[in-house]
Structure 1
Amino acid sequence: MQMLIGDKIKSIRELKNYTQEYIADQLGITQAGYSKIEKGKTSLSLDKLEQLALILDLPLENIINFESQKYFNHDSNSEKEQVKNDSGLELVKRLYEDKIILLEKLLGHTDRELKIYKQKYGML
């Protein structure tokens, strides 16, 4: 079963741990409007798709060719399918590495804020 572009974008967004609100803000649209894109209720222009590729930090062709079955299904025996899975695993690996970096940045930001509040209230 072929994934629709909205499903692909949603899967990638979730792997990157981005919220719909974040993506919508980056696109300059409402969260409700962005949700309609993921659900396939609103058509996606090439310009918006290119913007999404920049936001998701992926080449446009990776978004278009994204198929979660290729990345998470390990039952394939053919060599050709294994090559596809290997390239897909690289994409998933990159997405998870990006997610780790994002979470580390968030943790650092939280630590700095905590230190500021401790200083402000004399707890340090």
Structure 2
Amino acid sequence: MTESIKNKIKNIRELRNYTQQYMADQLGITQAGYSKIEKGKTSISYAKLQQISIILEVSTEDIINFNSQTYIKNLNAADHADKVNFNECKILKGLYEDKIKLLEKLLDRTELELEYCKKKHNPCCC
């Protein structure tokens, strides 16, 4: 079942967290008048659709082609990608932390060897 334009406008408005009153104010109409647009009680001209698209910061084509199910799927996919990226970052962080620990051990060992060499080659200066 395809969504009607009125439902698409409403869904996009809600995704933007805009109230009907905000939309009405931007369009220069009453909230009740705007509500009739979303309820389909008023026919909407292409010019009005263009005004609405500007307020919603999307193109008229985006409104016409909007599919809430696709949007939710894309949102979930993006959320999954963020989790994957976060996990990759955690793995990389762990690898770098392990490398730092190894380098610190190597530095400690090198310092011990240096002290040993100093004592061996200059026993009277220690």
TM-score by length of 1: 0.58
Matched residues in 1 for 2:37 and 2:13: separation? Answer: 13
Structure (1/2) with the larger helix percentage:
2
Aligned counterparts, 1:16-31, within 5 A:
16-31=16-31
Matched residue, 1:68: 68
The correspondence of residues 86-97 of structure 1 with structure 2, limited to 5 A, is none
Counterpart residue identity of residue 4, structure 1: S
- RMSD between aligned alpha carbons? 1.7
How far apart are 1:70 and its partner, in Å? 1.4
Structure with larger Rg: 2
Equivalent residue of 2:36, what SS? helix
Aligned residues: 77
State the structure with bigger RCO (CA 8 A, min sep 6), 1 or 2.
1
> Aligned partners of 2:54 and 2:69: how far apart in 1?
24
Gapped regions of structure 2 (runs ≥ 5): 79-126
Structure 1 stretches of 4+ moved >2 Å:
none
Q: Report the Cα distance in structure 1 between the residues aligned to 2:64 and 2:24, rounded to whole angstroms.
A: 19
Q: Quick one: distance in 2 between partners of 1:37 and 1:19? A: 14
Q: What's the offset of the Cα at 1:57?
A: 0.7
Paired amino acid for 2:23? I
